Homo-oligomer: A and B are copies of this chain.
Amino acid sequence: MTRDWLAPRMADLGTNAIREILKVVGRPGMISLAGGIPAPESFPLDLIEALTRETLSRFGAGALQYEATEGFGPLREALVTYLAAAGVAAGAGEILVTSGSQGGLDAVGKVCIGRGDGVAVEAPTYLGALQAFSPYGPRYLPLATDENGALPDALAALIQRGGVKLIYLVPTFQNPTGRTLPLDRRRAIAELIRAHDVLLVEDDPYSALRYRGEALPPIKAFAPDHVAYISTLSKVFAPGLRIGFVVAPARLHQALVRVKQGVDLHTSTLGQALAAVYLDGGHLTAHLPKIIDLYRPRQAALLAALERHLPTDFSWSRPDGGMFVWGEGPEGMDMEAVYWRAVEHKTAFVPGKFFYTEPGEGLATLRLNFTMAAPEQIDRAVGILAGAIRAVAARRRGA
């Protein structure tokens, strides 16, 4: 007798198509514009020993011990200042430290999403949020977007229709598009969620990576009781430490703590203690400009290469920050076919269709990352990408 050991929710997850196609990215010699990860040279590697020494001298065995689920006290205190600078007013007691922002997404999903609940997401949206939410059985409601992100009118229409349990947005330098929601849309969305008492999950991993222009306040600033604000130190310290944090409305905070306790008891104490010392010592303030100086020319190189190489029927975003540029080809262009052709020539990116919840959407789109490759490599990779696009287009015309 063989029994089925899997719960029904596993069938809902479907196949992990993107994981399958990206398996080839690790091949030797590949130039990857596919990743979403920081450059290793952006890490404050030469600080780690000193940070460890200070952590041990300040906290002793406490840095290695079990910790409260809510988070390590000194880190929560340090995050008060960090969050205030980002436009989020929160006391230490309102901050929940999570295992990366992924841990925050999982906790919110577990607390709020019941089977069949409507979850409004930008089309396209961040894949990690879908991976966090999907096991809880949501019904995704794609939200129309333009080059400035989600359209408040589209959101209003969705809410009016009923059944929006929560909204998930990445308002600044969005993954995958790089788009940033302007101030007036932030205010309009804040107004909507307050009027209809809907919860917004505002995911903000990239706003510190701004290469030009003025910082915008988060939506959280305009609707503090209706926004679970999630961010991370992954892009400004080190992703391997898995330090994220959530500032949720008071009515959700205890429930988030409760479910996180069942998931991992708490986030690594040592990682949290190192992060506290990093923030308290002013190291982030000193180090962040170096990260920006590393990424700004890489983004410029990508935008210039797109201008130089891509066919004229392609358009792309020109974000003021973050890690991604979003491209779109003419209707009928099959970017997965382009992907396989580019990979043969050792260049990878992500076909954009994987960031949509509805099948058949975004077939002609693509996401390009610029943080992991040097400017010369980026130019070469985009040249190869353009060649693959032309080859696929020619084959299509020939067919």
In the complex, whether A62 has a CB less than 8 A from a CB of chain B is: yes
Chain A 60-100, CB-CB to B under 8 Å as 1, else 0, gives 11111111000000000000000000000000000000011
Of the listed stretches A131-139, A142-150, A215-223, A343-351, chain B binds A131-139
A53–B62 CB distance below 8 A: no
If over half of A's interface residues share one DSSP class (helix, strand or loop), that class is named, otherwise mixed; here it is: helix
A8–B114 CB distance below 8 A: yes
Query: For residue A196, which residue of chain B has the nearest CB?
Result: B1
B40–A45 CB distance below 8 A: no
In the complex, whether A37 has a CB less than 8 A from a CB of chain B is: yes
**List of B residues within 8 angstroms of A38 by Cβ:** 65
Residues of chain A from 222 to 261 with CB closer than 8 A to chain B in the complex: 234, 238-242, 251-252, 255, 258-259, 261
Residues of chain A from 155 to 172 with CB closer than 8 A to chain B in the complex: 165-166
Chain A 1-25, CB-CB to B under 8 Å as 1, else 0, gives 1110111111001001000000000
**List of B residues within 8 angstroms of A99 by Cβ:** 99, 242, 263-264, 267-268
Of the listed stretches A104-112, A183-191, A300-308, A326-334, chain B binds A104-112
With A3-B197, A251-B5, A255-B6 as contacts: A241 and B268 at CB distance below 8 Å: yes
B45–A262 CB distance below 8 A: no
B114–A9 CB distance below 8 A: yes
Q: Tell me the smallest distance from the CB of A91 to a CB of chain B, in Å.
A: 20
Number of copies: 2
Query: For residue A62, which residue of chain B has the nearest CB?
Result: B40
Query: For residue A61, which residue of chain B has the nearest CB?
Result: B40
A265–B10 CB distance below 8 A: no
B241–A64 CB distance below 8 A: yes
A128–B265 CB distance below 8 A: yes
In the complex, whether A389 has a CB less than 8 A from a CB of chain B is: no
Query: For residue A64, which residue of chain B has the nearest CB?
Result: B238
In the complex, whether A102 has a CB less than 8 A from a CB of chain B is: yes
In the complex, whether A315 has a CB less than 8 A from a CB of chain B is: no
What's the Cα separation between A136 and B136 when bound, in Å? 9
